Chains A and B, each alone.
Chain A
């Protein structure tokens, strides 16, 4: 079992729709959870971090964490073509401070 798994995608959504990205993790000791966006040919860019159960909203992005279910998700509301990228879920259990990454979900927003 992989440490961090994401829905495989690719995910194609029309402009203005909600894109929903899912991530599950195996280590119950995980403490910190992150979503990164990576445009083609570029390095990852942090878009959200979440540490407590529940929802966290930042602009059009909402991260949801459920530690009991070992599940973290990202919603992108009012999707724009500029949101087209690969989204990486990352989990940190603070042992050695290493991040474990999912394989990423590629999102394409159709104009």
Chain B
């Protein structure tokens, strides 16, 4: 299957700082990528759809000014958690698919964020 990477895999930061997470499609181009968040013992929650060259589409209840998404190239999307607080501590996972964003989605390994 297609390979999606994320960096960093784990990050610990102080409250109030911003954290950037990268999602890369390694062997295909992706015009659309997706960002999810997962709290312990809970389901995946879609946060936003990242569109190459245009603004991201956020799901209801997700603060677009807090979770900044940039999809500047066909292989890279970034999620920046601005002014992070302890309640933002979670497992952030991106996904992408080689079919122009549709059909099969492959997940990155995830980024575990801990805000102290």
Contacts and interface: CB of A to CB of B under 8 A. Distances in A.
Interface size class of A (residues with CB under 8 A): 20 to 34
Interface residues of B, number: 22
Interface string B63-93: 0000000000000000000000000000101
Contacts of A101: 43-44
B17 interface: no
Residue from A36, A44, A49, A102 whose CB has the most chain B CB atoms within 10 Å: A44
Contacts of B8: none
A98 interface: yes
B103 A42 contact: no
A32 B108 contact: no
Interface of B: 1, 32, 34, 43-44, 46, 49, 57, 91, 93, 95, 97, 101-110
Interface of A: 32, 34, 36, 42-46, 49, 88, 90, 92, 94, 96-99, 101-104
